[in-house]
Amino acid sequence: MVPREPDIDVVTERAAFVQEMLSRIRALPLSSLEEFVADYRNVATAESCLRRGLEALLDVGRHLLARGFGCATREYKEIGARLGEHGVLSAEKAEAMRQMAGYRNRMVHFYDEVSAAELFRICSERLGEVDGLLSALTGWVRRQLGKMDGLPS
C-alpha cells in the first residue's frame, strides 16, 4: 500500500455516523437500569447503535492507517496499536481503542453473553470515551490536512 492523503469525505461521513449512533443511544432512558430494561427495544437499540458506532469509529482509524500510512490491518484490535505507533493516538487512547475493538468483537461473536445490565453500564457511563477517540482522530486529520471544515469535532 502506498500512503496518500485520507479521503475527507470518508472520514467526515464515518465521523457523522458515529455521532448519530451516540445520539441515538443518549436518547434512550439511561437514568436507571430498571427504566432501560422496561422496554426490550431499548436494549436492542443500544446494542445495535453501540456496535455500529464502534465499527464506524474503527473504520475511520483503519482508513487513516491505510491512506495516511499505507498500513493494512487485518483485525479491529490492531487498529488502536497501529494508530499509536504512527502518533495518531496517545498510548492511552490507543489502548482504549483496542478495548473498544475487543468489546465490538464480543458483541458480534459472543452476543449471547452480553447482558442488558452490561450494555446499560457502558451506554450510561462510557460513551464519552468514544467521543474522545473520535475527537482525537478528527483532530489529527485537521492538524495534518488543515482542511476539515465539515468534520464533527
Dist CA 37 CA 7 (whole Å): 40
H helical segments located in the chain:
8-26, 33-37, 40-63, 69, 76-85, 91-109, 116-125, 127-145
Q: Is 3 left (phi over 0), alpha (psi -120 to 50) or beta?
A: beta
Q: What is the pLDDT of residues 96-139, one digit of tens each?
A: 999 999 999 999 999 999 999 999 999 999 999 999 999 999 99
Per-position b or e across 115-124, b if 16+ CB within 10 A of its CB: ebeebbebbb
Can you give the residue ranges of every domain in the chain?
8-144
Burial class (CB in 10 A: 0-12, 13-18, 19+), 128: exposed
pLDDT at residue number 145: 79
pLDDT exceeds cutoff 80 at 67? yes
pLDDT at 150 over 60: no
pLDDT of 6-40, one tens digit each? 899 999 999 999 999 999 999 999 999 999 999 99
The CATH superfamily assigned to 8-144 is bsu32300-like (1.20.120.580)
Position 149 confidence tier, pLDDT thresholds 50, 70, 90: low
- Of the candidates 30, 75, 22, the one whose C-alpha atom is nearest the C-alpha of residue 50 is 22
Question: In the 8-state DSSP scheme, what is residue 65?
Answer: I
Q: What is the pTM of this model?
A: 0.91
